[in-house]
Amino acid sequence: MNPEKAIFHCFGCGEGGDVFAFIMKRDGLDFRAAVESLAERAGVALSKAPPTPAQLEAAGIRHALELACQYYQAALAAGAGAAAREYLKGRGIGQEAIATFRLGYAPAGWRSTLDALGRKGIRPDTLIRAGLAVGGKRRPYDYFRDRLMFPIADGRGRVVGFGARTLGSGEPKYLNSPESPHFSKGRTWYGLHLARDSIRRQGRAVVVEGYTDVVAAHQAGFTQVVASLGTALTRDQARSLHVLSPELVIAYDADAAGQAATWRGLEIFRNLGGTVKVGIMPEGEDPDDLIRKQGPEGFSSVLAGALHLVDYRYTMIKREQDLTSPEGKSRAVGALAPLLAAVTDAVAREAYVAKFSNDLRVPAEILAGAVVRSIEAAAYGHKRPEKAHTANRGRTLGDPGPAAISPAVLEAEKELIRLMLVDTGNITEIKAKLDEGKFVSPDCRAVVDRLYRWQVDEGPVDMARLMSFLGENSGATSLVAMMCVEDTTYPAETAKRVLADCVEVLKRRRLEELGKLLAAADMEGQKAQSGVIVEYQALLKELKGSRTG
């Protein structure tokens, strides 16, 4: 964090941006809601332009959802909600939890909600857009009927949808609000608005499957628990948790934990730089069952014994394969290889290779070799490394791809951007020496392109404005945010020397690239383009002069 510049950067996942981006990612809000949230917290009154038709519609939908939540809460407390109350009592859910999570009941009638909200002035077409009603052939009818209602809230605690459980034998057992512009299961967590502070404080988020699992866990004191609306985590969901905590623990039942979609979602979180663990639930039980039978101690034991994702996957592989046979061991090595290839920490990967090869009783070299082949397959699209140059065909000189960027070149590009951010006078000097096409990294090139358009008389670079110019380029905005957080400055003489050295690094890289083009043309018996020859000769002369000067 850089409070003075209102900039953040996560060194784990690379996310970064201004204070608005931070609130949007942390709380799952759109830009307008993030601005309103910050203004409310700061006690600032926003001057509002007349609302657009779309904003009026969105406000009407939010109002309808809030009124529906209140209606369902009242219905749960009334006579019609007796069966729902009995169900909650049987699950051990008390009045305080019912009130905290605003649980309710949707009456069994076909038009109960339509009629009740209609009396409050809510039109049927608004209820249809809010996902509370369905447009029938003759007239609309309620979307939720005879169901226990779980309101789903955004980061500010505003109702955006509902999860609903049938109280009889009807199907589906659970029904969510339909997907819409204001509600998306892939961007939402159940209970996050209540769990956010605990997750941040404890440095760990616990993910369960069901609504009642969340309610029961919070009631038992596990206030860092949330539920995904489905077992597969999306990238948006993973990001919103990773902003709050570097560690995620899933506590699904064995069937859900073993699903391929679950693993794909967990690997998304791990690829953001997070730590993923799996709490092993007793066979056939979920957190709600476990807490009722064994109390908080039972669930606490599951969390304390949570295994790292790799270790848990290994236990599953051992369960699935006959490790007493050569074929079973071979299949186990084949399943482990891509799993270990995804471990980015080389020390941890080597430790896993030693541990698992010893347990499998196979030479470590065999498992290590399989891991190397998996890494190569992922990097080169199942081509051997010596063939990998064919994957670069069709690339332009300005965009050779990440694999062509040496660490020295990338660091030189970043240093030049730092110098331009600190002193706009450097923009003019660097621009005179290098056009933006000389920058190899696409993210660096995008930042340089915007900086080259900055007018010196505009004064120092405004970071928030620069990021708004960069727009949806998350890599470029993260790069700028990281530099703001590091806030590196040099004495004047040092800055001058660093600038010259970095420019030379990029020019030498360009010279090397042009030389390869000329050599390739010569080998193929073709004449190189005149522009390439002229640029090569000019650069060669300039760099020879700098070496002797």
Residue 390 confidence (pLDDT): 38
Paired tokens of 285: 């039980």
- What is the per-residue pLDDT across 151-180, written as a single tens digit (0 to 9) for each? 999 988 999 999 999 998 778 999 999 998
Q: Which residue has the higher pLDDT, 501 or 385?
A: 501
Distance CA 103, CA 152 (A): 10
pLDDT of residue 387: 40
Q: Under 8 Å CB-to-CB from 437, ≥6 apart: which residues?
A: 397, 398, 445
The whole-number pLDDT of residue 233 equals 82
CATH class of 187-313: alpha beta
Q: Residue 178's pLDDT is what?
A: 93
Residue 382 pLDDT: 42
Structure tokens belonging to residue 209: 């499957």
Superfamily classification of domain 53-183: DNA primase, catalytic core, N-terminal domain (3.90.980.10)
Query: What is residue 176's predicted lDDT score, i.e. its pLDDT?
Result: 94
pLDDT at position 311: 92
Report the pLDDT value the prediction gives residue 256, as an integer from 0 to 100: 64
* Nearest-10 crossing angle of helices 474-486, 463-470: 160
Is residue 404 within 8 Å of residue 476, measured between CB atoms? no
- How far, in Å, CA of 490 to CA of 273, rounded? 31
Q: In this predicted structure, what is the pLDDT of residue 239?
A: 86
208 strand-pairing partners: 227
The more confidently predicted of residues 164 and 252 is 164
What are the tens digits of pLDDT across the range 301-329? 999 999 998 898 898 899 889 999 989 99
Confidence of residue 487 (pLDDT cuts 50, 70, 90): low
Please state, for a pLDDT cut of 90, what percent of the chain lies above it: 38
* Residue 193: closest CA among 63, 33, 20: 33
Average pLDDT in the 276-296 region? 91
Fold of 402-548: DNAb Helicase; Chain A (1.10.860)
- 441-469: per-residue pLDDT in tens? 888 888 888 888 876 556 677 776 777 67
d(CA 194, CA 218): 9
pLDDT, position 198: 96
More confident residue, 438 or 245: 245
Give CA angle at 382 (376, 387), nearest 5°.
80
User: Mean pLDDT lowest for which of 71-85, 112-126, 201-215, 391-405?
Assistant: 391-405
Asked whether the beta carbons of 448 and 458 are under 8 A apart, the reply is no
| Cα–Cα distance, 247 to 241 (Å, whole number) | 9
- In the block, which residue shows the tokens 């919103």? 240
Proportion of the chain above pLDDT 70, given as a percent: 79
Higher pLDDT, 464 or 134: 134
Helices (H), 164-277: 192-202, 211-219, 235-242, 254-257, 260-271
Q: Check pLDDT > 60 for residue 204.
A: yes
Alpha-carbon distances, residue 117 vs 78, 120, 365, 546 (angstroms): 17, 5, 69, 79
Would you list the DSSP string of 481-514?
A: HHHHHH-----HHHHHHHHHHHHHHHHHHHHHHH
Instruction: With a cut of 70, say whether residue 29 has pLDDT above it.
Output: no
Per-residue pLDDT, 255: 65
- The predicted-structure confidence for 328-354, as pLDDT tens digits, reads as follows 999 999 999 888 887 767 788 889 999
